[in-house]
């Protein structure tokens, strides 16, 4: 079997598993979802599931991590610059990330916020670190940590409806606080 055929099959299988998890999370709490539920819904056997994921927690972890990375990539068009516009897009990517997960996992959203936040912060830090390489040297680690957590906290509060500010307004405030020249 050719590598391309194997890759297509692997991709389809993984997508089927991802979709099955989302469907099941609409129906029941994540803690109640079993591997058997997942394999039946995805129409695969247990061995196939375990060939891709160690357990359902690793599955959820990967879905959330990939989602954060992909949305950052999409919103910034793969361009890594430390500009006002790019930082605005970074904030909008974070908003979309939380909104997508909240929409797909309404029943479980509040329970997985810590995981969402941790994966988002990691993705934001990675992106910010790359963007700020030419600007900061010694302080970069500190600023990257502060900016990533600031974006995450603002987005989390907004998604939890704990602020009446609009996404646009929050993004503008964050960019102002970052002080981009």
| Each residue's pLDDT tens digit, 11-45 | 889 999 999 999 999 899 999 999 999 999 999 99
Provide the angle, in degrees to the nearest 10, between the axes of the packed helices 109-131 and 84-104.
Answer: 160
Statement: residue 105 has pLDDT above 90:
no
pLDDT of residue 4: 52
Confidence of residue 2 (pLDDT cuts 50, 70, 90): low
Asked whether residue 177 carries a pLDDT value surpassing 80, the answer given is: yes
> Which alpha helices (DSSP H) does the chain contain, by range?
3-27, 35-42, 46-52, 56-75, 84-104, 109-131, 140-159, 167-178
Q: What pLDDT does residue 104 have?
A: 84
Domains in the chain with CATH codes? 1-53 (1.10.10.60), 56-181 (1.10.357)
Inter-residue long-range contacts of 131-138, CB under 8 Å, 24+ positions, other chains counted: 131/80, 131/81, 131/82, 131/86, 132/82, 134/82, 135/82
How much is the mean pLDDT over the chain? Answer: 91
Query: Model pTM?
Result: 0.85
Lowest-confidence range among 2-6, 113-117, 132-136, 169-173? 2-6
């Amino acid at each position: 079997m050719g590598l391309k055929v194997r890759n297509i099959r692997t991709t389809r299988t993984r997508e089927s598993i991802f979709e099955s998890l989302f469907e099941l999370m609409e129906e029941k709490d994540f803690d109640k979802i079993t591997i058997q539920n997942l394999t039946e819904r995805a129409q695969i056997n247990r061995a196939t599931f375990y060939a891709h994921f160690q357990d359902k927690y690793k599955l959820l972890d990967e879905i959330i991590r990939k989602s954060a990375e992909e949305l950052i990539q999409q919103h910034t068009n793969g361009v890594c610059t430390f500009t006002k516009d790019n930082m605005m897009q970074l904030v909008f990517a974070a908003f979309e990330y939380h909104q997508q997960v909240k929409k797909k996992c309404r029943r479980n959203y509040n329970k997985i916020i810590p995981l969402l936040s941790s994966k988002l912060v990691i993705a934001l830090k990675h992106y910010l670190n790359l963007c700020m390489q030419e600007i900061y040297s010694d302080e970069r680690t500190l600023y990257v940590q502060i900016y990533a957590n600031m974006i995450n906290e603002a987005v989390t509060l907004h998604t939890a409806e704990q602020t009446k500010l609009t996404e646009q307004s929050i993004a503008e405030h964050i960019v102002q606080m970052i002080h981009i020249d």
